[in-house]
A = this chain, B = another copy of it.
Amino acid sequence: MCNYPLALTKIEESSYVLLFHTPRKKWLTKVTWDKKMHTHLGIIDVSSTIGMEYGSAVRTTEGKLIFLMEPTIHDFIMKSERKTQIVYPKDLGYIAARTGLKNGSKVLEVGTGSGALATFMASIVKPEGHIYSFDVNSEFMEIAKRNLEKAGMDKYVTIRQHDPHQGIDIRDADVATVDLGDPWTVVDQVYDALKGGGAFVSICPTMNQIEKTVAQLKKSGYADIDCVELMMRNMEAREGMTRPSMRMIGHTAYLVFARKVEKLQERIQQPASEEEEDEEEESVNNR
């Protein structure tokens, strides 16, 4: 049946494998010599996958088909251990695309949380870049470390227990992400840590957070301030009956972006008139 030999990375002991039945029935596990996984679809003999190629299939004891997938960063994040709300892939991806995150980037992360954002950013900036991450909560840090190790990203991320309100000793960061309840309180500290033109990003579940953060950014030497929300909807594509999914996550977070610029006296007045200019244009366009 297979018209092309699957000559690919083989599954080894200690590899992680995504056992995939359907999008909602899948398990991420480490392969060991004697592991058997009990599921409601029957028992999966995980040890038997050693030596098999990614993409191939096994069966549960009940005859259900399980595909062996090489887990991606996306899989590690979606299956990560968490005590906090994670940053979702739609938001992770846009943060990378918008800030120009790339191999070699130096990144400051304020608020490690469960480590989803650090895991993702590390996968992009490695091997030459690095993530410097701070959190005050030691419990979260332990979870984040386990998640990073599992995804193989721990050596590209340095996590420290430190309150960023006390100042941040990082300099010349290309990108800084802030995932705190009160992001506006670290805008000045992050300014010091960024290189000129460097990108500030804040992940904010509420509108009050974006309002306060944007107000502070305007005062603190940032330009190109922008705030967006991404909504993702699945499509059910079936012949003759294609439609959007009836299930949808309504909201995860707003994303605030800005770039560090030279602080100027007059900049404080500048934005107001620019915005009025924009406003006028907008009202004209809407007519």
Interface string of A174-198 (1 = CB under 8 A from B): 0000000000000000011001111
CB-nearest residue of chain B relative to A227?
A: B235
CB-nearest residue of chain B relative to A255?
A: B235
Chain A residues 149 to 197 lying within 8 A of chain B, measured CB to CB, are 172, 191-192, 195-197
Chain A interfacial residues counted at CB < 8 A: 112
Contact A69–B259 (Cβ < 8 Å): yes
Contact B226–A233 (Cβ < 8 Å): no
Beyond A94-B232, A206-B241, list 5 extra A-B contacts (CB 8 Å).
A6-B262, A8-B197, A22-B274, A56-B261, A211-B242
Give chain A's interface residues, CB within 8 Å of chain B. 1-4, 6-9, 20-24, 53-57, 65, 67-70, 72-75, 89-90, 92-100, 102-103, 120, 123-124, 126-127, 172, 191-192, 195-199, 205-208, 210-211, 213-215, 221, 223-224, 226-252, 254, 256, 259-267, 270, 274-275, 277-278, 281-282, 285-286
